Amino acid sequence: MNYYKATEKFLYNYKFLKISIENMETELKELEPVGATAINYENEKTGITYKINKTVENEALHIISQKEILKNRIEKTKRLVNRIEKALETLNDSERKIIEKRYFETKQWFEIAYEAKYSEFWCREIKNRAINKLAVALFGVEAIEVEPVAK
C-alpha cells in the first residue's frame, strides 16, 4: 500500500468527510416512518404457502436495517475524522499551516509560499515531511517500513 498517497487522499477528503457525517445524521433523522395504516387483508394475494405480505411490518424492518447501516457508516466516518485530527495535532505550526492551506483550502503553491514566507520548494519539502509524519500517525509501523515516496 502506498501510505503517502493514502494519507493525501484522506487529507483532500477531510472536509467532505465532515460534511458527510452531518448529511448522514440528517438522513438518519428523516428515516422515521412516515405513517402506519391498518392492515387490509381483503385484496391480499396468497401463494401455495398462504403467506400474507405484511406491508407495515416489512417497511418497519426495512427502515430499521437502513438505520443500522447509516449508524455504522456514521461511526466509521467519525472514527476516520478523529484519526485525521489526532494525526494533525502531531505536526508543528508550519507543517500544519502548509497542510491546511494545501489540502483543506486547496491553495496553489505560490499562494502558500507567499503566506508562509517560504520558497515554493521549501513549502513542498515541509509538506512532504508532514505527510510522512501523518502516514505514520494514521497507519502505524507499516508506514515506517515502507520507503517514503516523496523525499
**Three-class DSSP category at 33:** coil
pLDDT level of residue 47 (50, 70, 90 thresholds): low
Tally the domains of the chain. Answer: 1
Residue 45 lies in a domain: no
Q: What is the model's pLDDT at position 149? A: 56
Can you tell me the mean pLDDT for 23-52?
Answer: 67
pLDDT in tens, 53-101: 677 677 777 778 888 999 999 999 999 999 999 999 999 999 999 999 9
Structural domain of 20:
3-29+55-145
Contacts of 42 (CB under 8 A, 6+ apart): none
Residue 46 within a domain: no
> Is residue 84 in a domain?
yes
Is 72 part of any domain?
A: yes
| Nine-digit cell string for 111 | 499562494
Distance of alpha carbon 34 from alpha carbon 41, whole angstroms: 21
Average pLDDT over residues 118-136: 96
pTM of the model: 0.75
Residue 10 in any domain: the answer is: yes
